[in-house]
Chain A
Amino acid sequence: MIYTYAFVAIAACVAIERFHNRRAKATIVLLLAAFLAIAPRFYGNDAVFSVLADAAVYVMLALGLNIVVGFAGLLDLGYAAFFAIGAYTYGMLASPQFGLHLPFWALLFIAAALAALFGALLGAPTLRLHGDYLAIVTLGFGEIVPQIFQNLTKYTGGPNGIAALDVPTFFGHSFGASVMPYYYIALFGIAFALWISRNLRESRLGRAWMAIREDELAAKHAGIDVLRSKLAAFAIGASFSGIGGVLFAAKLALVSPDLFGFQVSVLIVSMLVLGGMGNIVGVVVGSLLLTIVNSALLPQINSLVDTAFHTTLDLSNLHFLIYGAILVGIMLFRPEGLLPSRERRAELHHAGEAAVDA
């Protein structure tokens, strides 16, 4: 069942990339949205929608990181830190921890703002650094943040984290134990993230990011304020992650420091790399594929193998091997990702003519 949803979504994404006609694209988007909104009434169960809701959160995270890595060309290896900040914002402000029970909806905004603030705070001194150095600094930040959450036991519940988080309500109606509200919110979140991503890519700021990514010195000569543009990318990317964190924490009703380690950051980077960095639709496909593999395919293969051979293998151990293989394989053999943007494919197509032209 889950594969049906994933297949439809991915097929629609591929179709969107293939079609050049704007109206055809819009039609596919509307059809897909209608399908994802209505189909759950007839088809599927809580387990499926739980996975899909998680997948949707990851899609949001990947779209956010895509702004930083894909658009602005800044490799952020500590992106999970902002995810943690979002999740802990919900954990601390909507739980018995401090007796604060701020509404879920308000916390979405607060977490986005806080994550953006921390993104800017981290970025302000470090965004002068080039390439790999920035990657390592963000990695260090990503290691520090969960560690701090773990150590400040008095406020954060320490290694055990905070449990029994508030169940969100919608105009007085509690979400209860159902996963459907999270599924719909996450879908809405993706739609919003897609809209913002597209706006940014086509904007003056988006062109400035492209320039910085391609040639920082030339960008400066065009009068672009490189540092401010990078800060904007960091802050906006972080805010996506913050929102994702709130959704994630509310759905799980739990936060704990071990949920936000380096593996999570690398997972999101793998999603980008798999789908094609910088390409919005590719990123969606990459993150859907990886989440489905992680939360549906691997467990199923696992139980199949175990029943067939009477073993008790734990294939969940293979996650990291898969991320690693994706990173290496794609970089070596298909650096543009599985679904490169239409422009780029058109380019590969035109490359022959251009060579003749030269």
Chain B
Amino acid sequence: MHEFLAQLANGVELGAIYALIALGYTLVYGILELINFAHGDVYTFGSFVALGVLVGLRAAGVLHGAGLILGIAAALIAAIIASALLNAAIERLAYRPLRKAPRLAPLITAIGVSFMLENLIELWQGSAPVPFPNVIPNPQLQIGALEVGVQQIVVVALAIVTMVALHFFVQRSRLGKAMRAVAQDRDAASLVGIDVNRTIAITFLIAGALAGVAGFVGGVSFGSAWFLNGFGAGLRAFTAAVLGGIGNIAGAMLGGFLIGLLESFSTWLIGGQWSNVAVFSVLILVLVFRPSGLLGESLPEKV
């Protein structure tokens, strides 16, 4: 029972991170029908930016008392801004010129961008995992039979706050409405005066910002950053987005938590070396049997 609860907490924590990344896939897919293969690496980039800020501030000796809270906030905000800008730059340079190309062209390009980012991050940070500064206090709390760290709670809370904010943004704000309109019908949206390019760029900014949050949260949670983190996490998050129903924001969150739980429980029950197999089997099974995902609606083919 004790172990079960611990795995549950683990799964939820992992799931929160996957959900944040999955939202980026889903937002971009919703609007462009493109699997932004480089999205996982934008997450890695965010992680390293947060790490860099924290290391710098620690070296400056300001990470205590109120300085600690400000420092953490600075790291988070830096990760958000850096990832958002990176993602928007990728869209502008690599995807926008291919908007009218055959459908596989942007996907191939996205894989190329992903490989380049991974390699560049490796050149910048080396090929070994870099420990994330352990500056956030992590006292353990006992809630009944469940023992959780404060960090875990912060991680999950931060993720949930972000997701709720995103939900309201997309549903209520002018920009959010424009995003939904472009997602539904680009030509019609442009006819009613929506700036399609700008809307798509903003979507990438938001997706990148979410990856930045995930990068910070993931760094804290895993205790390290690694140039290849984004590949595995990205694929899991993409699986989550597909499981929930790609293009569907609530679906991405649900999928994220489910995949997080699947990973933690498969690691516990059948061993960590099988968790990849478990996750990718889910991906294949969902795509084969329910490509619209748990919450998605099936789309009729356009003729």
Contact = CB atoms under 8 A, between A and B. Distances in A.
A and B touch in the complex (CB under 8 A): yes
Interface stretch (A139-147, A169-177, A302-310): A139-147
B23 to A, nearest CB: 18
Interface string B88-125: 00000010011001011111110111111111101100
A331 B111 CA distance: 11
A29 interface: no
Contacts of A326: 112
B277 interface: yes
A223 interface: no
Interface in B56-73: none
B273 interface: yes
B107 A328 contact: no
B112 A325 contact: yes
Nearest to B35: A132
Contacts of A3: none
A267 B290 CA distance: 31
Contact of A136 (B103, B115, B283, B303): B283
Interface residues of A, number: 43
B137 to A, nearest CB: 37
A256 interface: no
Interface string A269-282: 11001000000000
Contact of A135 (B107, B114, B115): B107
B224 interface: no
Nearest to B231: A262
B283 to A, nearest CB: 5
Contact of A317 (B94, B104, B113, B123): B123
A137 interface: yes
Contacts of B118: 320, 324
Nearest to A335: B105
Contacts of B50: none
Contact of B103 (A129, A132, A266, A328): A132
B277 A266 contact: no
Q: Is the interface of A mostly helix, strand, loop or mixed?
A: helix
Nearest to A126: B288
Q: In the complex, which of the residues A75, A318, A320 has the most CB atoms of chain B within 10 Å of its own CB atom? A: A320
A324 B119 CA distance: 9
Contacts of B281: 140, 144
A192 B127 CA distance: 40
Interface in A302-356: 317-321, 323-329, 331-332, 335
B235 A139 contact: yes
B276 A143 contact: yes
B198 to A, nearest CB: 22
B238 interface: yes
Contacts of B127: 317
Contacts, number: 122
A329 B115 CA distance: 13
A133 interface: yes
A217 B108 contact: no
A27 interface: no
Interface string A145-164: 00110110000000000000
Given A147-B277, A317-B127, A331 B98 contact: yes
Contact of B109 (A129, A217, A327): A327
Interface in B31-59: 33-35
B291 interface: yes
B263 to A, nearest CB: 14
A151 B112 contact: no
Contacts of B33: 132
B111 A266 contact: yes
Given A133-B291, A150-B273, A325 B116 contact: yes
Contacts of B116: 320-321, 324-325, 328
Contacts of B288: 125-126, 128-129, 137
Interface string A197-241: 000000000000000000001000000000000000000000000
B154 interface: no
A269 B276 CA distance: 23
A299 interface: no
A151 B273 CA distance: 7
A288 to B, nearest CB: 20
Interface of B: 33-35, 94, 97-98, 101, 103-109, 111-120, 122-123, 127, 231, 235, 238-239, 242, 273-274, 276-277, 280-281, 283-284, 287-288, 291, 303
28 contacts: A75-B107, A129-B291, A131-B104, A132-B107, A133-B291, A136-B242, A136-B283, A136-B287, A137-B288, A139-B235, A151-B277, A217-B303, A266-B111, A266-B115, A270-B112, A317-B123, A320-B115, A320-B116, A321-B116, A324-B117, A324-B119, A328-B109, A328-B112, A328-B113, A329-B112, A331-B98, A331-B101, A332-B98
Given A132-B103, A327-B111, A331-B108, 20 more contacts: A73-B104, A75-B107, A75-B108, A126-B284, A126-B287, A132-B34, A137-B288, A140-B280, A140-B284, A141-B280, A148-B277, A151-B273, A317-B119, A320-B116, A320-B119, A321-B120, A324-B117, A325-B112, A328-B113, A332-B94
Per CB-CB distance, the 3 closest pairs between chain A and chain B, nearest first, are A327-B112, A324-B115, A324-B116
